[in-house]
Amino acid sequence: MATTPLQTLFRPHKMGHLTVPNRVFMAPLTRNRAHDDGTPWSTTATYYAQRASAGLLISEATQINPLGKGYIKTPGIYADSHVEGWKAITDAVHAAGGRIYCQLWHVGRIRHVDIEPKGEQPVAPSAIRANAKTFTHDGFADVSEPRALSLDEIDQIVEDFAHATRCAMAAGFDGVEVHSANGYLLDQFLHSASNRRDDEYGGSIENRSRMTLRVVDRIVQEIGSDRVGIRLSPLGEANDVQEDDPTAIFSYLVAELDKRELAYLHFVESFAGADRSNENAEVLKSIRQHWNGFYVANGAYDAEYAAKYVDEGWCHAVAVGRDFLANPDLPSRWLTGAELNAPDQDTFYGGGEEGYTDYPFATLGR
């Protein structure tokens, strides 16, 4: 009997040290529901456990040090209290049969001085202010002027990623995802518009890729390559990073990452409502050809397109954001064709359990 595209979507597959039971992953989603000190909110265990039927849960972006925080009420993974808080979450996910990676984050220049710790100037590859906003206690505000990192500070951030990785493992995560996308610190090093350095971290493609590759290599030293994924956004559609020739730098970077034999490569292919032009598709295709491992696509995929692109071999899995936020049982809804809950955008960021743990399951009794 022939396998349908939808059946392919629900076939297990080896990914690094894991075998994922399906190819419907939950994308990292910032929800701004942690304590101010970065300790996860206790109800977060319910939120993730509800969604444990995902092939893989990728946690919300989680800062590796205090200055890595750019938005209020986002979680950290560098203090003992963070490890303890996340341990309750990973335990709940595993008890529900799920798998979860921790996305490691440093926002760089996408930060306001009022974010805890207050008064600290943001850091970045270069002292170039982004045309972007962040979420403060007073609502959305323009980000502050950053200062350029010194070489010693760059070395320390690499070590902070390693420390955060150790904390993530102590907290029970199955692996980590390096956030080198969406205009945050590692992505800022990659792009010529945000990186004007004249040392070994600026100028050439090789130099601008150095920070991301150093971080990846240091994390691999800690836990091995088969527990490490990475997220990239080659089309640069977030937080004021532009690139004249994304094909050149991301082809180089992806080819280098391919040598590391990581668990997966996760591309932000497009944002909700963004242009999916043939030109953009060709850029992604050109870069994608340099990767031979497990590939996760992210870009407003629905069940039909997810099944099609997995079946055709473009990707091994899709990472879904808003629909997973609103449908804790999304894989089974896709499989059965059940109607989807509509996401409530007013409750995306901050708040309580409303719009967080109260979305209904399609299955009776949940």
232, burial (CB in 10 Å: exposed 0-12, middle 13-18, buried 19+): buried
Note whether residue 359 is domain-resident: no
Is 184 among the residues known to form the active site?
yes
Mean pLDDT of the chain: 94
**β-sheet bridge partners, residue 266:** 231, 296
How many angstroms separate the CA atoms of 192 and 211, rounded?
A: 14
- Number of independent structural domains in the chain: 1
DSSP secondary structure letter of residue 259:
H
In a domain, 109, yes or no: yes
- Cα–Cα distance for residue pair 289/40, rounded to 1 Å: 38
360 lies in a domain? no
- Choosing from 47, 71, 78, 184, the catalytic residue is 184
Structural domain contains residue 358: no
Distance CA 268, CA 360 (A): 28
In a domain, 254, yes or no: yes
Indicate the pTM of the whole model.
0.95
Of all residues in the chain, the percent with pLDDT exceeding 90 is: 88
Domain for residue 221, yes or no? yes
For residue 165, is it within any domain? yes
Residue 234, domain extent: 5-347
CATH number reported for the structural domain that contains residue 20 in this entry: 3.20.20.70
pLDDT band at 3 (very low <50, low <70, confident <90, very high): low
Location of structure tokens 């500070």: 153
Q: What is the arithmetic mean of pLDDT over 104-118?
A: 95
Q: How far apart are CA 313 and CA 8, in angstroms?
A: 10
192-194-196 Cα angle (round to 5): 65
Q: Pick from 362, 301, 296: which is nearest to 333 by CA?
A: 362
* Each residue's pLDDT tens digit, 19-59: 999 999 999 999 999 999 999 999 999 999 999 999 999 99
Residues of 181-210 as b/e, b for ≥16 C-beta within 10 angstroms? bbbbbbbbbbbbbbbebeeebbeebebbbb
Q: How many CB atoms lie within 10 A of CB 285?
A: 11
pLDDT digits (tens, 9 = 90+) for 57-94: 999 999 999 999 999 999 999 999 999 999 999 999 99
In a domain, 52, yes or no: yes
Give the containing element (helix H, strand E) for 165.
Answer: helix 151-170
Q: Contact 148/189 with Cβ under 8 angstroms?
A: no
What is the pLDDT averaged over residues 251-268? 98
